[in-house]
Amino acid sequence: MLSKIIAETRSYRRFWQAESIAIATLKELVDLARLGGSARNVQPLKYLLVNSPSQNTKIFPQLGWAGYLKDWPGPVEGERPSAYIICMLDTRLSNGAECDLGIATQNILLGATEKGLGGCRIASFSRELQRILNIPDHLQILMVLALGKPKEKVLIEDSGPDDDIKYWRDATQVHHVPKRSLQEIIMVGQSD
């Protein structure tokens, strides 16, 4: 059921690194992105698929992890992503595609959940990444999807009355994500 998949599609940042992900699997995930809607149907997003340990090692240090966890620099060796999908804007086709990017990455991450995988959207990365991956100038990296088999527990809970939405980890390293309530985000229009 869709609601279950959506609820289980959380941001995961620690993985069973030794569990590799085949390029064929990454292609299946991007095919879900491909079928998502696109503003004016332009479809300006392109995807670089990476699953080799040597390339993963080059990508990892270029990424910023979990801004709210100040004492945590990111996953340790052994818990790092086993694949990446680099999401890029083809600037020959469009000058922006943030909404498309949300649609596409949601389809990918939902598909990952269905396959027992998980991942994290990373929008904080070094400009060096473009050069390291030999990405041509007309493709602009918008986001890095880090993927793997999740090795952490992520819990959604209601944000409290103090309106604090920062995610946090408890002593057992369970990751807690406060979500605003339905009541807080909905307004209902007049009825007849």
Query: Whole-number minimum distance, CB 61 to a second copy, in Å?
Result: 16
Binding test (CB under 8 A) with a second copy, winner from 13, 14, 25, 45: 45
- Out of 3, 95, 171, 172, the residue judged to bind a second copy by CB under 8 A: 3
The nearest distance, CB 180 to a second copy, in angstroms, is: 5
Q: What is the CA radius of gyration of the chain?
A: 18
Out of 15, 25, 167, 175, the only residue in the binding site for a second copy (CB under 8 A) is: 167
| Shortest reach from residue 115's CB to a second copy, in Å | 9
Of these, 41, 95, 157, 172, which contacts a second copy (CB under 8 A)?
A: 41
Within 47-106, which residues bind a second copy (CB under 8 A)? 47-55, 67-68, 98-106
Q: By CB under 8 A, tell whether 158 contacts a second copy.
A: no
What residues are paired with 15 via a beta bridge? 150
Q: Are strands 45-50 and 154-158 parallel, antiparallel or unpaired?
A: unpaired
Residues 122-151 that bind a second copy (CB under 8 A): 123, 133, 143
Q: How far apart are alpha carbons 60 and 14 in whole angstroms? A: 13
Among 119, 25, 14, which Cα is nearest to 72's? 14
Size of the residue set binding a second copy (CB under 8 A):
71
Tokens of 112: 């990952």
> Which residue among 5, 94, 126, 153 contacts a second copy (CB under 8 A)?
5
The tokens of 168 are what? 């946090």
Asked if residue 124 lies in contact with residue 68, where contact means CB atoms within 8 angstroms, the answer is: no
Q: Is residue 144 classed as helix, strand or coil in its secondary structure?
A: strand
Cα distances from 182 to residues 164, 185, 186, 187, in angstroms, run: 16, 5, 6, 10
Site string for a second copy, 13-32 (x = CB under 8 A): ----------x---x--xxx
CB of 52 to a second copy, least distance (A): 4
Toward a second copy, which CB reaches closer, 34 or 153? 34
Q: How far is CA 24 from CA 31, 36, 53, 161, in A?
A: 10, 19, 16, 46
Q: What tokens does 107 get?
A: 């389809």
